[in-house]
Copies of this chain bind each other. A is one copy, B any other.
Amino acid sequence: MISTDIIKKILKNYESDNFSTLKNLNKIFMTGKLSGTGKLIILPVDQGFEHGPDRSFAINAEAYDPHYHFKLAIDAGMSAFAAPLGMLETGFDTYKNKVPLILKCNSSNSLTKLADQSMTGSVKEAVRLNCSAIGFTIYPGSEKIHEMIEEAKELFEEAKSAGLVCVLWSYPRGSMSKQGETAINVVSYAAHMAALCGAHIIKVKLPSNYLEPDSTKDSYINNNIEIDELWKRVEHIVKCCFNGRRVVVFSGGEAKNDEELINEIKAINKGGGFGSIIGRNSFQRPKQKAIQLISDITNIYKGK
């Protein structure tokens, strides 16, 4: 198993995992331009499920073709490609072993208002599709949170046994204000819950400096937790993910201008975050521009 000292140190934190899982985690860390650095950039493409194909792909029509995304992930040197079942099936043979795959096992859709997701994947299918990991989303704060966590539990237990890496998207919604969904005290809670659920890789949104007025707010004020600067908030999230013993990556959410995005990456890097999940900011622009942007981002993560 080819690795680097940085990666070996990260893997050591996963004390209970079997060799296959560690090998798959190593593979993700040793793929692409960030290979061996301990940082990750993951391409997720489930927006077609969550927002519909046109809102996702019309702006860059090549992206209607699933192969476009496989190629983008490979050509831009990303660490892994995450997508729902049907999309991964299309490139099974053409892109075999060219980029680690994450089977996104549940998805929501905007045709319904229900704060829930549908299971569309499984460990059995992830194994069939030669994936390195499975992905799952929970909504802390929603009415379905207990069921979602229990689905994650079943999935992760089976995945670990099958030697797969478990990636958990933890997106608060429901019980808090809209602004509160990215409040630092809410995101840190969601990240910690994901760690306790046994995720190997945690994915949260970048937190704002807003504090949702709930039972956890006072602990920020009383203990002087620094949240004014973004990199401090990233650092805090890393701390809430078992003090850095679990890998946490960040999404920026909606497409924004490149300067904002680059500044976010710098803050993630400075705060000790493990990398980014970049979807719309990569596939909603022409391929060469996307490759350039990813290149700029990897340079930041590589400290160039």
Binding site for B on A (CB under 8 A): 13-17, 46, 48-49, 51-55, 58-59, 61, 64-67, 84-94, 107, 109-114, 116-122, 124-125, 128-129, 140-143, 145-146, 149-150, 153, 157, 172, 174-176, 185-186, 188-190, 192-193, 195-199, 214-216, 218-220, 222-223, 225, 239-240, 242-243, 245-246
Contacts and interface: CB of A to CB of B under 8 A. Distances in A.
Contacts of A193: 49, 109, 111
A61 B85 CA distance: 41
24 contacts: A15-B94, A16-B93, A46-B196, A48-B192, A52-B216, A53-B192, A54-B185, A54-B219, A54-B223, A64-B243, A65-B242, A86-B195, A86-B199, A86-B246, A87-B196, A90-B242, A111-B193, A111-B214, A117-B146, A118-B150, A119-B150, A119-B153, A120-B149, A125-B157
A231 B223 CA distance: 37
Contact of A215 (B15, B93, B110, B121): B110
A146 B52 contact: no
Contacts of A89: 14-17, 198
